[in-house]
Amino acid sequence: MSERFAAEVGGTRLVLLRGDITTQDVDAIVNAANPELTPGGGVSGAIHRAGGPALTRAAAQIRRERGPLPTGEAVITPSGKLRARWVIHTVGPVWRGGRHREADLLARAYRSSLALAVAHLLRSIAFPSISTGVYGYPVEEAAPVALRAVRGFLRAHPQALDEVRFVLFSAGDLAAYRQAWEGLPAEAPDP
Ligand code: AR6
């Protein structure tokens, strides 16, 4: 299967690719954060390492000012040393079997991040696969939720962004997102 796939939604390019989110040339990358906005492990640890102390300090300051970030919400900070200028930190749900509003909360995390990007007049944004690492959300379940949430937002905000990129860390994750995209019902109302 190809390492890169692109589609178009409401005048925005939607790209699925395999790669490392810390090196992406977009206006903002999204961090799968914890509510304390500390570096932690996974993609968040990698983003904080690449951004350096300025990024970690900016996140800590928001935590001090606003308290823990509720699941599904998002905040924005400068990126420190990253190629992308901004980092949007959002908290996905911890998987607890699927009957604890996980899908709703995951969709919210994507929508909150996109809304923040648009509010800051950013034109391009890259997402990792939120919640499917340490937080245990099965990627086959998360991918259609993520893609429907993004598709719904882009349809509701035509031309608000030039590009939304999903940067998947493994070939298996890319395949799951690709398959989920092909399987989304064309005209189903998006959440
Ligand atoms: N680029 C793109 N994707 C990556 C990268 C990278 N450099 N590194 C890892 N991934 P996770 P979560 C993928 O665990 O499940 C942290 O400790 C990874 O393979 O980073 O939302 C936070 O502080 C997986 O597919 O995020 C929280 O406590 C995906 O990113 C907690 O983990 C998400 O995995 C959040 O857990």
Q: What is the amino acid identity at position 54? A: A
40 pocket-lining for ligand 1 (C-beta < 6 Å) = yes
> Whole-angstrom Cα distance, residue 5 to residue 166?
10
Concatenate the DSSP letters of all residues of 64-79 into one string. HHH-SPPTT-EEEEE-
34 pocket-lining for ligand 1 (C-beta < 6 Å) = yes
DSSP state, 130? T
Nearest CA to ligand 1 atom 7: 20
Please list the pLDDT of the chain residue by residue as tens digits (191 residues). 569 999 999 999 999 999 999 999 999 999 999 999 999 999 999 999 999 999 999 999 999 999 999 999 999 999 999 999 999 999 999 999 999 999 999 999 999 999 999 999 999 999 999 999 999 999 999 999 999 999 999 999 999 999 999 999 999 999 999 999 999 988 666 66
Residue 127 CA to ligand 1 center (angstroms) comes to 11
CA 70 → CA 24, 75, 91, 135, distances in Å? 26, 10, 7, 15
> Whole-angstrom Cα distance, residue 36 to residue 174?
29
Q: pLDDT above 70 covers what percent of the chain?
A: 96
Parse the chain into domains and list their residue ranges: 4-183
93 pocket-lining for ligand 1 (C-beta < 6 Å) = no
Residue 132 CA to ligand 1 center (angstroms) comes to 7
Task: Indicate the burial class of 95 (C-beta count within 10 angstroms; 0-12, 13-18, 19 or more).
Answer: middle
Look at domain 4-183 and name its CATH class. Answer: alpha beta
Residue 129 CA to ligand 1 center (angstroms) comes to 7
Instruction: Identify the pLDDT of residue 186.
Output: 82
